[in-house]
């Protein structure tokens, strides 16, 4: 399996959880410890090692928060 | 007696509801009232604010520009925008839970309420707006808290009656929180 | 009835239903959406019909059909939507059908903004549609007045067989105030012996129409409409006038801006400056008569509008050169403040006192 | 003893039609009138005149009529029918009126399943205004606004209203007929009657598209115009029923 | 060029093409059908596009799109069709796009008649659409003038980025007169650096728009529009004024009725009655300045219109109480005769001389 | 070395969308932008914004945009395309805009075979104005103007735009897609690209109907809204291609 | 074959010849010897004996000029 | 010199064309001209009429109401309608072929032309309008017949040039017909 690197432009995340829902590895979560300027808990990957770089999260993110790289 | 209040915050923080309860309560207290909402372009997640006037005499314009007697701000952008709308000696009631900044004007009275924390304490984060309203009522005495409670089912419907005790408590806690500051300030 | 706190838009709906309106055809547009929403909830309960039309054009033509069939019917929209209704309104006026049209004005031109404005005065009072026609235009300044006028509007429409427009603005539509619903007491109304209902009961066919291919007949029709307009001008003018006999300056303002003017006038009174107010409640017919009572020595008239200046034309006509006419306004969703008005008045009387 | 084979219907009064000689608008008027009489609903009928050559039809029908703005007859009919569900409401619309400016109104009357009956006179031209191109004008057909004849490249192929509306569920009766000869007229009458029946049974929206002539603007004799319907129109606009009270496919 | 005998409607088309108009979007309506018909024949010959829209609403929005893409574009219609275009015109004004709109007016209201009238004055000069906007309105009185104005109209539209309306009537559209086409000499025109054309040449994206959700921005936009309007009022007013300095009565009339007025004035001159004429060529901006030249002792102003009286409002505003203002008119397709005007003038000066 | 699997398209600038959290309007914007870039025509593109939540899309796209009156985007696009046939013109329209007030304009853009591409965002509701019923609102679905839910008796069954337009010959490409999961999004992108291809090849009118969510007015979480598209919308609005460059049947 | 009696309301005939064209017996003609008030040569039957009362002429007449009786 | 002429008849009788030729001819003679049509609601078979002015001076209103100097009527309804539009001493030119009635006013000059018969004689019933025009020109001399002939192809297109001889003849025959009456009257 390919490995992935997923980065979030946290400031513009709206916490909608679409990325969370479509990640096949279930490794995305909202970061309850943060609130961004828009007032949302931004999404982040909790276990990057499991990421398979499928791009689903990025494809589904309506706000282009996510960049996915294959390592 | 007249209070001209701007209530402002994120959509979802219940600022419109706060304003409506205040206006409805004022009406039950036989005052003249007006409530005027204003929304941003966003349907959700944007900012929202309303102007409320409660008065003993006929209300002219329902719009508040720079003549507000009180401003209740639930988040930072609202404070940045509306502090300047206060008339001299006006009251700025700040949701300290989300706003770290202090009031910048010194010709006004500022009060800092840990609204979100207090609301969490009494069991519902959504009640932060009622905490703020409690503080405002304590400061101005423009509407009786009982009238706000009477207004509750009128504004939200009979099926929301079960939330009354929680909201009553929130009003009280807000009042208490501001009383401490009235003492110190 | 006890007072209730109501949004202007909902109050419009409630008053209409109380006045016997049973049909509503409309299309969503901010800032009047609570009107159709209220109607969709409440009309079915009283055996009426709410129908969301496919467009404002369709809505006004549904109103034409329903009015032609004898119904108490209304529609509601806001500025761009009202623009689209102009052909239909012209048809309704031409066919002499009664109906009520609500315009909760917003900023323009074009898509503009969704905030309150008063920039459709020309359209409302001059007819944005084609041909010689008029319709009555009421401009309430509070929710209570909106409700009271709504309840009369349907009768007025029936009596004169004319469309009646309620010209509010986004603020009137969106704000909440305390309001009391009086019992609706209908005026004496003429029979709708022109309404299409089928010829079954041996009546001869009825035609609802605005087409008159013979110029002589169309001219006659226009002359008859004009006669009706004259009667309305005589009998249906409404306005509020305060302190105009000894004013230094008279403000002329309607709806929301009249409220601002009142604040300013109070402030000016405190400074010893006497300012009167003419608040047209009917924009057409315009209250020309009110101007005859103005202090002949007044320094001028100040028109206040949430527009770049539209009613000012009527104020000038009414003034007829007797006083200078000045303008103070904001547009695009902004509301002039009482300070703006105070300053404008002071400018007219020559600096601060 | 003699029996009447054909006599003017009592649904029409004695005012003479303003239509051009041989224009089949007149035949269609007769069919509507005869259908209303035969169904016994003339007294309940409220017609809606559109804007086109038939704008003045209110002068001819022995029933109530409202004259509607150009293209808006279905909206006007909706207003009437919602107020008076017990009446029989029909619109009489030309192809400029219904297929061009009034496209939204007819689509939405069908979409809502409005219980009205529409008689759609497709003469492939704007008659009243003097022969401009309609959405139904055939490829190659000349019009005053298509002086070299309609081309697909510039204006697309003619719009098939019956086919389009038949995709809408609320359109419970959809049929295309013609009036270019007596047999066709008899069939057209059946369709119009059934379209009113659809309304009487409360099924939903009903429309009959009638291929009609405009000898004046086609620049033909009335008789040649009938021939052109058969030779040129029917091949592009096939006659037949598309929906007969059942659901959309 | 030699004179040719041409119908007004065709002359409109010919002049437009000479002035470089290459796009026409319209919908048939009597009495202006020869405009689209002419364009459908002639535009393809010069590489232009004629397109019959599905409706007037679509036509005006096609004009919006084409104008926004930088084209010289026009539309044409008559009264009910112009009513339908009001929203679109408001958008075009709001987005500051240049275009030319022809209205060959007919009797109204509603479907009215197909005969000539001047009953859309209010709609044309006040904007039947929503919001604070204006557009220039030219009212030619002969085919020659129509042609000359058409050829300028496109330049004016480009210079001010504003819709320009040519307000004719069925008579101007249908009649034939001799006309000479002068060579079109374009004014100095600003570059259309706002037109959408793709960002290919590394330009930054362009937006054509009338939406300003922030009230402050919309107000600013309105103030800018107003500034433009003021410049137009200063620079583009056009009128003809004859014999007004020593007139007993001054007729005010535009287009077809101005021609009737001229006949009447000639007849009155024979009787020794001096009557002047103000013929506004631009209806907006209205030629207020002309009124300052009127004999202060004149007995009054007589407005003559093929309507129940619409321009009379502007005449009253311009008169500002200096002279009584009377009205003489016919509507619905009828044209006042010179005898009507003669009698009206005599009435004003107190019976026959 | 790492390779980019997904990165924000350069067809969008850095202005943040005003859309509600999880609203799939944003996904559709991305697909349009990616298609234009991949086809190499971003520099030729002229978009037409409609009136609905996407009215402000001109703030986001890195191409020229004209904002059109409600429902009239196809007419505005027609005006642009007839003036600039070499440009790539598209409209982005909601279901209130396209299926309701703009029904005539879309039908006639298709009828004329206008060489434009329409992206039709069907979210079964009026988003921007706060949740009123659309022609596409499902039976039983609640809306602020259908507080008890839409009924067939009162408002008919929802209008199937793709099916209706597919009967019109000039509509050379018609497909319905969805964006409720990554696989659907990938298919949607293919369809949108092909719809632009249709324009580039000068075939005629192309439309992609995209089933989209409105969590706010549906009263659902964004994730549940995706589920509702699958469970409720797709069964009524079947996905798939209806016209792929060939003639109408 | 049934026999028919066909009567024309001549004053309102527009001479369009639709009746002429559809008569199976070809017995209808415009009467060139008459001009009615509308300025048209009205239609008439030249040989009533041959009429079979089929009604075609009347059905097609747009102006309801014709009445057909079966004798 | 000024002639204000109303030409009226059934649609199809060529009244509009008559008027256009007159106006075009007048223009070729360097006169001011106007032509104004008016149609009934019928597209075909209705009545049609036009107002034509040919003048040496600027033309005011192109509409003729009761100030026509000449009225040319091709059928009876037109005569009934337009006789009253003649100014005193005006000329009423009547198509005797279709109008049996005599002029009712005695303050005007009436001329009776067998236009249809004459047109048939010279080979084309459609030329009746040209016969009437010929009569009018003879009576008023407002436009040269040559100018009318020059106007012919301008109005109808070059491909109609072949009809010129026929129309020339029709003008002549109309002139002759009216000359006889001028002699007797
Ligand atoms: C808003 C508007 N636009 C245009 C017209 C002009 N108009 C009158 S009838 C007509 C079209 C007639 O064509 P059609 O509907 O096909 O009817 P037909 O005359 O062919 O029977 C038009 C465009 C009008 N009256 N109103
Ligand atoms: C003429 C006109 N009518 C109504 C409106 C109000 N309006 C704004 S957006 C909208 C509908 C939005 O619904 P949709 O097209 O489905 O877009 P969505 O917001 O759902 O994406 C309406 C009716 C308007 N701006 N102009
Ligand atoms: S790329 Fe795939 S696996 Fe990795 S976080 Fe995104 S959705 Fe999950
Ligand atoms: S999909 Fe995008 S906006 Fe939504 S939570 Fe994930 S990163 Fe944030
Ligand atoms: S113009 Fe055509 S459609 Fe109209 S009446 Fe004449 S022939 Fe019939
Ligand atoms: S209202 Fe609905 S469609 Fe509009 S942005 Fe929000 S979720 Fe999206
Ligand atoms: S009834 Fe038949 S046979 Fe007799 S005249 Fe008429 S068409 Fe001919
Ligand atoms: S069909 Fe009727 S109108 Fe035509 S010729 Fe025969 S009788 Fe006359
Ligand atoms: Mg037609
Ligand atoms: Mg939507």
For range F87-96, the mean pLDDT: 98
In a domain, F30, yes or no: yes
Query: Domain total for chain C?
Result: 2
The dihedral through the CA atoms of H69, H72, H77, H79 has a sign that is positive
pLDDT of C19 higher than 60: yes
Q: Which residue has the higher pLDDT, D26 or G2?
A: D26
Q: Are B52 and B73 contacting, i.e. CB atoms less than 8 angstroms apart?
A: no
Q: Say if the Cβ atoms of B75 and A38 lie within 8 Å.
A: no
Q: How far apart are CA D175 and CA D178, in angstroms?
A: 10
Q: Say if the Cβ atoms of E111 and D55 lie within 8 Å.
A: yes
Q: Say if the Cβ atoms of F186 and A70 lie within 8 Å.
A: no
Q: E190-221 in b/e burial notation, b at 16+ Cβ within 10 A? A: eebeebbbbbeeeeebbbbbbbbbebeebbeb
Kindly report the nearest CA distance between residue D168 and chain F, in angstroms.
Answer: 7
What residues of F are in contact with residue C80 (Cβ under 8 Å)? 69-70
How does DSSP assign A3-64, residue by residue? -EEEEE-GGG-----HHHHH-TT--EEE-TT---TTS-PPEEES-GGG-----HHHHH-TT-
> What chain F residue is nearest to C58 in terms of C-alpha separation?
F101
**Cα–Cα distances in Å, from F210 out to B146, F93, F95?**
51, 10, 10
What is the model's pLDDT at position H42?
61
> What chain E residue is nearest to F101 in terms of C-alpha separation?
E57
Cis upstream peptide for H7 (omega within 30°): no
In a domain, C353, yes or no: no
Quickly state the pLDDT bin for B183 (edges 50, 70, 90). low
Beta carbons within 10 angstroms of residue H67's beta carbon: 16
Instruction: Kindly report the CATH number assigned to the domain that includes residue A46.
Output: 3.30.70.20
pLDDT digits (tens, 9 = 90+) for B123-170: 998 899 999 999 999 999 999 999 999 999 999 999 999 999 999 999
Lowest mean pLDDT among B3-17, C6-20, E15-29: B3-17
Which token pair is G39?
């300025």
In a domain, E353, yes or no: no
Q: How far apart are CA H24 and CA E268, in angstroms?
A: 31
Mean pLDDT computed over every residue of chain B? 92
Q: Are C90 and D106 contacting, i.e. CB atoms less than 8 angstroms apart?
A: no
Q: How far does the centroid of ligand 7 lie from the alpha carbon of residue D188, in Å? A: 20
pLDDT digits (tens, 9 = 90+) for E292-313: 999 999 999 999 999 999 999 9
* Boundary residue ending a domain (E179, E209, E235): E235
Mean pLDDT computed over every residue of chain C? 96
User: Which candidate, F209, F147, F137, places its Cα nearest to that of F177?
Assistant: F209
pLDDT digits (tens, 9 = 90+) for B23-50: 999 999 999 999 999 876 666 667 789 9
For range C204-215, the mean pLDDT: 96
What is the model's pLDDT at position F74?
99
Pick the atom of ligand 3 nearest to A68's CA. Answer: 1
**Cα–Cα distances in Å, from C245 out to C271, C288, C325, F205, H22?**
19, 15, 17, 68, 67
Q: How far does the centroid of ligand 7 lie from the alpha carbon of residue A29, in Å? A: 86
pLDDT digits (tens, 9 = 90+) for H2-49: 999 999 998 789 999 999 999 999 999 999 999 999 876 666 667 789
| Domain housing E198 | 4-235
Nearest CB neighbour to E65, from listed F56, F75, F108: F75
pLDDT of H163 higher than 90: yes
Strand order in the sheet with E239-242: E239-242, E275-280, E249-252, E300-305, E325-329
Q: B86-107 in b/e burial notation, b at 16+ Cβ within 10 A? A: bbeebbbbbbbbbbeeebeeee
Of all protein residues, the one whose alpha carbon is nearest to atom 8 of ligand 7 is G23
Q: How far does the centroid of ligand 9 lie from the alpha carbon of residue D51, in Å? A: 10
pLDDT of E113 higher than 80: yes
* Boundary residue ending a domain (C201, C235, C269): C235
pLDDT of H118 higher than 50: yes
Kindly report the nearest CA distance between residue C19 and chain B, in angstroms.
Answer: 24
β partners of residue C50: C24
Q: Are C179 and C144 contacting, i.e. CB atoms less than 8 angstroms apart?
A: yes
Quickly state the pLDDT bin for E202 (edges 50, 70, 90). confident
Quickly state the pLDDT bin for C352 (edges 50, 70, 90). very low
What residues of C are in contact with residue E95 (Cβ under 8 Å)? 110
Instruction: Kindly report the CATH number assigned to the domain that includes residue C112.
Output: 3.40.50.970
Rounded to two decimals, what is the model's pTM? 0.97
What is the model's pLDDT at position C201?
75
Percent of chain F with pLDDT over 90: 98
pLDDT of D114 higher than 60: yes
Q: How far apart are CA F230 and CA F225, in angstroms?
A: 9
Cis upstream peptide for G41 (omega within 30°): no
pLDDT of F214 higher than 50: yes
**Cα–Cα distances in Å, from H179 out to F64, H129, H173?**
74, 17, 10
What is the model's pLDDT at position E107?
96
pLDDT of E347 higher than 50: yes
What is the model's pLDDT at position B40?
67
Q: Say if the Cβ atoms of G62 and D24 lie within 8 Å.
A: yes
What is the model's pLDDT at position D247?
72
> What chain B residue is nearest to F16 in terms of C-alpha separation?
B42
HEC readout, chain D: CCEEEECCCCCECCCCCCCCCCCCHHHHHHHHHHHHHHCCCHHHEEEEECCCHHHHHHHCECCEEEECCCCCHHHHHHHHHHHCCCCEEEEEEEHHHHHHHCHHHHHHHHHCCCCCEEEEEECCCECCCCCECCCCCCECCCECCECCCECHHHHCCCCCHHHHHCCCCCEEEEEEEECCCHHHHHHHHHHHHHHHHHHHCCCCEEEEEEECCCHHHHCCCHHHHHHHHHHHHHHHCCCEEEEECCCCC
Query: Do residues E127 and E45 both lie within one domain?
Result: yes
Our measurement of the distance from residue F54's CA atom to the centroid of its chain's CA atoms, rounded to an integer in Å, reads 10
Quickly state the pLDDT bin for B12 (edges 50, 70, 90). confident
Ramachandran assignment for H30, one of left (phi > 0), alpha (psi -120 to 50 degrees), beta (any other) = left
Instruction: Kindly report the CATH number assigned to the domain that includes residue F45.
Output: 3.40.50.970
Nearest CB neighbour to D101, from listed E27, E30, E110: E27
Chain D residues whose C-beta is within 8 A of a chain E C-beta are: 51, 55, 67, 69-71, 96, 100-101, 103, 126, 128-130, 132-133, 135, 144-147, 154-155
In a domain, E116, yes or no: yes
**Could you tell me the end-to-end alpha-carbon distance of chain D, in angstroms, rounded to an integer?**
52
User: Which candidate, B55, B105, B40, places its Cα nearest to that of B94?
Assistant: B105
Which token pair is E108?
């109204």
In a domain, D84, yes or no: yes
Give me the total of CB pairs closer than 8 Å, taking one residue from chain B and one from chain F. Answer: 18
What residues of G are in contact with residue D31 (Cβ under 8 Å)? none
Beta carbons within 10 angstroms of residue G2's beta carbon: 11
pLDDT of E351 higher than 60: no
**Phi/psi at E77 (5° precision):** -165, -170
CB-neighbour burial class of residue F48 (10 A; exposed 0-12, middle 13-18, buried 19+):
buried
pLDDT of B95 higher than 80: yes
**Phi/psi at E275 (5° precision):** -125, 130
Place of tokens 């049934």: G2
For range F178-182, the mean pLDDT: 98
Ligand whose nearest atom lies closest to the CA of A19: 4
Q: Which fold has domain B2-184?
A: Pyruvate-ferredoxin Oxidoreductase; domain 3 (3.40.920)
Percent of chain D with pLDDT over 70: 99
Judge whether C101 is closer than 8 Å to chain E, CB to CB: no
Q: E53: helix, coil or strand? A: coil
Eight-state DSSP code of residue C248: S
| Domain housing F228 | 25-243
**Cα–Cα distances in Å, from H100 out to E287, F219, G48, H45, H97?**
55, 83, 34, 21, 8
Ramachandran assignment for F140, one of left (phi > 0), alpha (psi -120 to 50 degrees), beta (any other) = left
Pick the atom of ligand 4 nearest to A64's CA. Answer: 2
**Phi/psi at H157 (5° precision):** 95, 155
pLDDT of E54 higher than 60: yes
Query: Do residues E266 and E231 both lie within one domain?
Result: no
pLDDT digits (tens, 9 = 90+) for D189-226: 999 999 999 999 999 999 999 999 999 999 999 999 99
Q: Are C102 and E123 contacting, i.e. CB atoms less than 8 angstroms apart?
A: no
What is the model's pLDDT at position E232?
98
**Cα–Cα distances in Å, from G49 out to C205, G54, G55, G61, H164?**
41, 13, 15, 21, 49
Lowest mean pLDDT among B44-48, E312-316, F215-219, G38-42: B44-48
Give me the total of CB pairs closer than 8 Å, taking one residue from chain A and one from chain F. Answer: 85
H or E segment and range at residue C252: strand C249-252
Q: Are F61 and F26 contacting, i.e. CB atoms less than 8 angstroms apart?
A: no
Choose from C175, C251, C268, C277 for mutation: most chain B CBs within 10 A. C175
What is the model's pLDDT at position E352?
47
For range E102-112, the mean pLDDT: 97
Beta carbons within 10 angstroms of residue E139's beta carbon: 33
Quickly state the pLDDT bin for E353 (edges 50, 70, 90). very low
Return the best residue to mutate from A7, A29, A53 for the ligand 3 pocket (most ligand atoms within 8 A of CB): A53
- CA F39-F44-F45 angle, to 5 degrees, is 85
Q: How far apart are CA F204 and CA F246, in angstroms?
A: 10
Q: Say if the Cβ atoms of E263 and H62 lie within 8 Å.
A: no
Kindly report the nearest CA distance between residue E348 and chain C, in angstroms.
Answer: 19
Judge whether C262 is closer than 8 Å to chain B, CB to CB: yes
Q: Say if the Cβ atoms of A14 and B45 lie within 8 Å.
A: yes
pLDDT digits (tens, 9 = 90+) for B63-83: 998 899 999 999 998 999 999
Could you state, in order of their start, the residue ranges of all structural domains in chain B? 2-184
pLDDT digits (tens, 9 = 90+) for C52-81: 999 999 999 999 999 999 999 999 999 999
**Phi/psi at F179 (5° precision):** -130, 35
pLDDT of F247 higher than 80: no
What is the model's pLDDT at position E1?
59
Q: How far apart are CA F20 and CA B46, in angstroms?
A: 9
pLDDT digits (tens, 9 = 90+) for C223-260: 999 999 999 999 999 999 999 999 999 999 999 999 99
Percent of chain G with pLDDT over 70: 99
User: Which candidate, E251, E267, E341, places its Cα nearest to that of E299?
Assistant: E251
Q: Are E195 and E283 contacting, i.e. CB atoms less than 8 angstroms apart?
A: no
* Stretch 22-81 of chain H: residues touching chain G, C-beta under 8 Å: 45, 75
Our measurement of the distance from residue E329's CA atom to the centroid of its chain's CA atoms, rounded to an integer in Å, reads 19
Of all protein residues, the one whose alpha carbon is nearest to atom 3 of ligand 3 is A51
For range H136-150, the mean pLDDT: 96
Query: Domain total for chain A?
Result: 1
For range F168-176, the mean pLDDT: 98
Mean pLDDT computed over every residue of chain E? 96
The dihedral through the CA atoms of E172, E173, E176, E177 has a sign that is positive
pLDDT digits (tens, 9 = 90+) for F5-27: 999 999 999 999 999 999 999 99
pLDDT digits (tens, 9 = 90+) for C275-293: 999 999 999 999 999 999 9
Judge whether G8 is closer than 8 Å to chain D, CB to CB: no
Q: Is A13 in the pocket of ligand 4 (CB under 6 A)?
A: yes
């Amino acid at each position: 399996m390919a490995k992935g690197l997923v980065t979030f432009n946290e400031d513009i995340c709206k916490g909608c959880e679409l990325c969370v829902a479509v990640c096949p590895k279930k490794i995305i979560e909202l970061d309850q410890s943060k609130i961004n300027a828009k007032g949302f808990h931004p999404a982040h990957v909790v276990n990057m090692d499991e990421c398979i770089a499928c791009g689903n999260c990025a494809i589904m993110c309506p706000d282009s928060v996510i960049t996915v790289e294959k390592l | 007696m007249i209070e001209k209040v701007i209530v402002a915050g994120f959509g979802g923080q219940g600022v419109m509801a706060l304003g409506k309860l205040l206006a409805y309560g004022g009406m039950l207290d036989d005052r003249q009232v007006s409530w005027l909402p204003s929304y941003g372009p966003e349907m959700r997640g944007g900012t929202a604010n309303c102007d409320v006037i409660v008065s003993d005499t006929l209300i002219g314009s329902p719009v508040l520009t720079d003549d507000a007697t009180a401003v209740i701000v639930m988040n930072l952008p609202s404070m940045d925008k509306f502090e300047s709308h206060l008339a001299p000696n006006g009251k700025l009631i700040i949701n300290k839970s989300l706003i770290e900044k202090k009031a910048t004007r010194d010709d006004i009275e500022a009060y800092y309420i840990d609204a979100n924390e207090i609301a969490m304490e009494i069991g519902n984060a959504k009640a932060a707006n009622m905490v703020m309203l409690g503080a405002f009522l304590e400061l101005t005495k423009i509407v009786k808290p009982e009238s706000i409670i009477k207004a509750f089912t009128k504004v939200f419907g009979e099926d929301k009656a079960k939330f009354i005790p929680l909201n009553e408590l929130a009003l009280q806690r807000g009042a208490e929180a501001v009383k401490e500051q009235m003492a110190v300030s | 009835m006890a007072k209730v706190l109501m949004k202007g838009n909902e109050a419009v709906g409630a008053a209409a239903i109380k006045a016997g309106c049973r049909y509503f055809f409309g299309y969503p547009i901010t800032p009047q959406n609570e009107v159709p929403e209220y109607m969709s909830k409440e009309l079915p309960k009283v055996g009426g019909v709410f129908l969301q039309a496919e467009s404002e054009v369709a809505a006004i033509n549904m109103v034409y059909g329903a009015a032609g069939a004898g119904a108490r019917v209304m529609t509601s929209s806001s500025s761009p939507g009202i623009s689209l209704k102009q052909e239909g309104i012209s048809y309704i006026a031409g066919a002499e059908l009664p109906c009520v049209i609500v315009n909760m004005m917003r900023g323009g031109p074009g898509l503009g903004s969704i905030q309150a404005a008063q920039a459709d005065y020309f359209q409302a009072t001059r007819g944005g549609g084609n041909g010689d026609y008029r319709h009555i235009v009421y401009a309430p300044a509070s929710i209570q007045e909106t409700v009271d006028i709504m309840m009369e509007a349907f009768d007025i429409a029936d009596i004169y067989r004319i469309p009646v427009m309620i010209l509010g603005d986004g603020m009137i539509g969106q704000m909440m105030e305390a309001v009391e619903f009086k019992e609706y007491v209908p005026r004496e109304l003429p029979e709708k012996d022109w309404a299409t209902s089928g010829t079954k009961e041996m009546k001869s066919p009825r035609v609802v129409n605005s087409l008159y291919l013979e110029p002589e007949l169309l001219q006659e029709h226009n002359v008859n409409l004009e006669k009706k307009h004259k009667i309305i001008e005589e009998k249906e003018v409404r306005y509020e006038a305060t302190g105009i006999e000894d004013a230094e300056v008279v403000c002329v303002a309607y709806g929301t801006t009249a409220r601002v003017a009142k604040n300013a006038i109070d402030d000016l009174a405190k400074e010893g400056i006497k300012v009167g107010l003419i608040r047209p409640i009917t924009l057409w017919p315009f209250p020309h008569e009110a101007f005859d009572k103005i202090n002949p020595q007044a320094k001028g008239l100040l028109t206040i509008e949430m527009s770049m200046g539209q009613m000012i034309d009527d104020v000038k006509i009414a003034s007829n050169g007797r006083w200078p006419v000045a303008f103070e306004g904001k547009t695009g969703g902004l509301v002039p403040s009482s300070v703006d008005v105070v300053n404008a008045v002071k400018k007219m009387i020559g600096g601060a006192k | 003893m003699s029996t009447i084979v054909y006599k003017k219907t009592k649904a029409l009064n004695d005012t003479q039609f303003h239509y051009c000689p041989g224009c089949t608008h007149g035949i269609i008027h007769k069919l509507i009138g005869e259908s209303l009489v035969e169904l016994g609903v003339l007294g309940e009928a409220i017609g809606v005149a559109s804007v086109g050559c038939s704008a003045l039809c209110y002068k001819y029908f022995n029933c109530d009529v409202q004259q509607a703005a150009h293209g808006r007859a279905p909206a006007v009919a909706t207003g009437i029918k919602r107020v008076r569900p017990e009446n029989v409401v029909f619109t009489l619309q030309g192809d400029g009126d219904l297929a061009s400016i009034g496209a939204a109104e007819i689509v939405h009357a069908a979409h809502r399943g409005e219980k009205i009956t529409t008689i759609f006179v497709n003469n492939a031209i704007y008659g009243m205004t003097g022969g401009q191109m309609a959405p139904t004008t055939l490829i190659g057909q000349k019009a005053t606004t298509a002086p070299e004849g309609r081309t697909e490249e510039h204006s697309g192929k003619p719009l098939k209203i019956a086919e389009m509306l038949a995709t809408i569920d609320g359109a419970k009766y959809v049929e295309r007929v013609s009036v270019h000869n007596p047999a066709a007229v008899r069939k057209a009458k059946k369709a119009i009657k059934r379209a009113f029946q659809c309304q009487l049974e409360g099924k939903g929206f009903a429309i009959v598209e009638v291929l009609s002539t405009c000898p004046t603007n086609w620049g033909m004799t009335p008789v040649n115009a009938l021939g052109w319907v058969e030779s040129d129109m029917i091949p592009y606009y096939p006659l037949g029923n598309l929906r007969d009270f059942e659901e959309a496919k």
